[in-house]
Amino acid sequence: MATRSGKGLLVLCFLLLLLLVSSSQARRLTARQHFEVRKHLKRLNKTPIKTIESPDGDLIDCVHPYHQPAFDHPFLKNHTIQMQPSFHPDRMFGTSMVESSTEKSDITQLWHTNGRCPDGTIPIRRTTKEDVLRASSVKRFGKKSHRSIPRPISINPDLVNENGHQHAIAYVEGDKFYGAKATINVWQPKIQQSNEFSLSQLWILGGSFGQDLNSIEAGWQVSPDLYGDNNTRLFTYWTSDAYQATGCYNLLCSGFIQINSQIAMGASISPISGFGGSQYDISILVWKDPKQGNWWMQFGNDYVLGYWPSFLFSYLADSATMIEWGGEVVNSEPDGEHTSTQMGSGHFPDEGFGKASYFRNIQIVDSSNNLRAPKDIGTFTEQSSCYDVQNGNNGEWGNYFYYGGPGKNPNCP
């Protein structure tokens, strides 16, 4: 008995030793991680001229334009900011934010209630340590997963939900496109799991759906992992290698050059549409400057935000080959099951205005650099019982579609 007792004591001591060693290693790993986080925050958070605290807790730093993260890129060391595009497409269906489709109101972001950035600066949402630590790694912070583009042409039904991304989109292809525009209904979809998101955006795509895909994206999103809350926020994204190493959200890496002092990438949008109540939408235009070759973004009628330099891209240095508009969610459940993360308003398209979410006045920029209605619009969704899309056309809204859904429901297990 004494021998067995002695062996038991030795085993206990050995387990305690392992626990102490692993605990020590965890502390060292945490220290290394915190060092990397601090270094990354120093790169992202530039010295502000002024800081504005938003009611939602965000800190908006007003930064000199040449101090923004874009200028950490080696190709931009001697870059002179292009303060305005050399060309703007014809304006059609010009609205900034619309209530109930008729009463106009100004585009606002929540931080505007506490002030604005002065002229000669740009607003940047300050990144916190908590923001970075929510990411899988410092390297992946601010990046989408590798598979987040809908593939309406070559989708394999056997692969539905393999990567957890679900879509409900309208799209055009088979031509050269030099931009796109849409007016997007703004909602605050419910997210079941913190590692999921829901967004509504336009995609400007070039290349194949392999590892050479170029993409420029803009719209609104709810992403607890990225922002730490469930607010609806303006966002942009870009990649030149199918989300592998290049690109990021907003200004979280070198790339997009902002020139506007009024709108902050990643900041909360206000107000938000209500079910059966007032409806609000935002207008987004992305187009290619035919002289400089840069891709510009405009928010509403009045806010030209900035541009993606053409050197960031391979295929998009020339033109896009596909445009997509619509919604995307990430579903984290395995084996084809679904969470109840909502897309759009969380209601199906057939419920119509005030209940379902919509895109209206969708347009493309053609080879003559004019905005025009797209031809041969296709629609696509992986599982219409979870999220669906229905398109149409009328005199007031031009080409439009309703989209979205609740995710998990009796017909979507």
- Return the active site residues: 217, 328
Total Cβ atoms within 10 A of residue 110: 21
Asked whether the beta carbons of 190 and 340 are under 8 A apart, the reply is yes
d(CA 143, CA 163): 16
Alpha-carbon span 254 to 44, nearest angstrom: 9
131-137 contact pairs (CB < 8 A, 24+): 131/226, 131/227, 131/228, 132/37, 132/40, 132/41, 133/33, 133/37, 134/194, 134/225, 134/226, 134/228, 135/225
Dihedral Cα 50, 54, 57, 59, nearest 10 deg: -20
Number of H helices, E strands in the chain: 3, 23
18 burial level (CB within 10 Å; 0-12, 13-18, 19+)? exposed
Q: Is 377 helix (H, G, I), strand (E, B) or coil?
A: coil
The shares of helix, strand and coil residues in the chain, as percent rounded to the nearest 5, are: 20, 35, 50
Q: Which helix (H) or strand (E) holds 28?
A: helix 2-44
Phi and psi at 54, nearest 5°, equal -80, 150
- Could you tell me which residues come within 8 angstroms of residue 269 by beta carbon, excluding any fewer than 6 positions away? 107, 108, 109, 110, 186, 220, 232, 233, 234, 282
